[in-house]
Amino acid sequence: MRIPVVIFFIGVIMLIGGIVLAVAIPATVTWQPKGEVLASEKPLEVSAGWNSKSESLIDKVITVDYYETYDYWFASKPFIFVEAKNFKITGTATEQSSPQLWFNLYIFDSVNFDLWKAGSTYTSYYEAEGKTSVNFSFSIATKDSLPDMFYFVAEQYSLGEFPVVRVTATISWVEKTSIYDSSEYYANYWTLIIEESKDFVLEGNASEIAGKKFNFCILDSANYGNWIGGTAYSSYFEKKNTTSTSFSIPLTKEQATSTIYFVAENSLLDTNETVKFSATLEWNEKATIAATVGGIILGGIIAFLGIIVIIIAGVAALIFKPKTPTPTPPAPPA
């Protein structure tokens, strides 16, 4: 009877040991690379950042009367409500008499016109003396430097002559286009990532299809609002005045799963652009394996053998069970 009991306990030990081996092996943690394409050759159509403007400044006949040595006409600057620069004034002045008379021409702002009249030292935008006709041109760099009024002065060159001068002039400049017209964006509103993840990287590139220069930046939602509103902002990436660029930006999970704006801006004059960009979000995602395959197989085999041994022990117990002695029948009475 002792042998089956020993075999039984060996089988139990094997069964328990196999189960423990299969389930108690430490879990294995790995990080698997993942990725998602956010944009592939996505076109952003962008209008010109600066537009050329012009308007007539003056078209007037200035007549020097017999009782004076000069006469003038004035012209006000154009009404401009946006950023502007590179002002240029061009025109002609032609004496109308036959035969033509000589004249002097001056172009002033109001302050220097008063200084000239007073015989004081002055500065003119343009002046020419002893001409019957003249073409003029001068530039003013900024909107702030533009005077409120231009004064065009025709003066007699010779005493006793009273010229009649027709003056025409045009003012041209470049004007900043609204940021809503000179920029375009693509927004990736969210990326769904459920598992534990790390090492987020946003990679990609952008280029103008004809090799023109553009500005490119990548922002979150709040900073895009600041950028479009003309206030201080912070970007994930920014490149200005480039024909092409590439980027590789580390992000946190919060940044990677929130809205991301890809923005192209046109800074050129009178030229529309098409910027194409691609972007991919890559990261590492946690993957947990409960036990190694080898451990599960080995534990299963041992547990299975333990069950077999227990069965064998049961069979052996039945085989080697001691037989009950047959009772001797009582002797018959004499």
Instruction: Tell me the residue length of the chain.
Output: 334
Question: 166 and 114, same structural domain?
Answer: yes
Number of domains in the chain: 3
pLDDT digits (tens, 9 = 90+) for 79-107: 999 999 999 999 999 999 999 999 999 99
CA 104 – CA 157 distance, rounded (Å)? 6
Question: 260 and 154, same structural domain?
Answer: no
Question: 192 and 130, same structural domain?
Answer: no
Share of the chain above pLDDT 90, in %: 73
Question: 199 and 61, same structural domain?
Answer: no
Question: Which of 121, 150, 176 lies at the terminal end of a domain, its last residue?
Answer: 176
Mean pLDDT, rounded, for 137-149: 97
Dihedral, CA of residue 239, residue 242, residue 244 and residue 250, to nearest 10: -10
Q: Which range among 124-128, 142-146, 283-287 shows the weakest confidence by mean pLDDT?
A: 283-287
CATH of residue 216's domain is 2.60.120.680
Mean pLDDT, rounded, for 140-168: 96
The band of 185, judged by pLDDT with boundaries at 50, 70 and 90, is: very high
Question: 134 and 157, same structural domain?
Answer: yes
CATH of residue 117's domain is 2.60.120.1540
Residue 219 lies in a domain: yes
Question: 131 and 55, same structural domain?
Answer: yes
pTM score over 0.75: no
pLDDT above 90: residue 9: no
Domain that holds residue 195: 28-48+178-288
Residue 95 lies in a domain: yes
pLDDT above 90: residue 319: no
Question: 164 and 56, same structural domain?
Answer: yes
Q: Where are the alpha helices (DSSP H) in 87-240?
A: 110-117, 179-182, 221-228
Question: 227 and 142, same structural domain?
Answer: no
Mean pLDDT, rounded, for 248-271: 95
102 burial type by CB count under 10 A (0-12 exposed, 13-18 middle, 19+ buried): middle
Question: 272 and 304, same structural domain?
Answer: no
pLDDT above 90: residue 136: yes
Residue 211 lies in a domain: yes
Question: 204 and 168, same structural domain?
Answer: no
Residue 89 lies in a domain: yes
pLDDT above 90: residue 276: yes
The band of 220, judged by pLDDT with boundaries at 50, 70 and 90, is: very high
Mean predicted lDDT score pLDDT of the chain = 88
CA 217 – CA 205 distance, rounded (Å)? 11
* pLDDT value at residue 184: 96
Question: 192 and 129, same structural domain?
Answer: no
Question: Which of 288, 311, 327 lies at the terminal end of a domain, its last residue?
Answer: 288
pLDDT above 70: residue 15: no
Residue 325 lies in a domain: no
pLDDT above 60: residue 290: no
Question: 204 and 169, same structural domain?
Answer: no
* pLDDT value at residue 10: 72
**Identity of residue 119:** G
